[in-house]
């Protein structure tokens, strides 16, 4: 996904940096974000469970 590099002209962003960052932030493809979130979900659950166990044991095990 995305755009190929321009061949005949230099690409310029005609808005302020702040506005450009907002626009770029809105350019994340939703299915990609959903796939990444699905991959991270088990790891997040593991981290939460580990943190709960450490808290119940009175401290971190590191």
Can you give the pLDDT at residue 10?
72
Share of the chain above pLDDT 70, in %: 79
For residues 47 and 54, the answer to whether their CB atoms sit within 8 Å is no
Q: Summarize the confidence of residues 12-22 as an average pLDDT.
A: 87
Question: Can you tell me the mean pLDDT for 14-41?
Answer: 87
Domain boundary assignment for the chain: 29-62
Beta-carbon contacts of residue 54 (< 8 Å; ≥ 6 apart): 60, 61
pLDDT > 60? residue 48: yes
Q: What average pLDDT does the segment 23-46 reach? A: 89
| Band (58; pLDDT cuts 50, 70, 90) | confident
pLDDT average, residue stretch 41-54: 95
């Amino acid at each position: 996904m995305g755009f190929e590099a321009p061949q005949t002209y230099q690409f310029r962003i005609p808005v302020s940096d702040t506005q450009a960052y907002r626009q770029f932030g809105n350019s994340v493809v939703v299915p990609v974000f959903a796939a990444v979130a699905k991959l991270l979900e088990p790891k997040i659950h593991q981290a939460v469970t580990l943190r709960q166990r450490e808290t119940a044991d009175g401290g971190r095990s590191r």
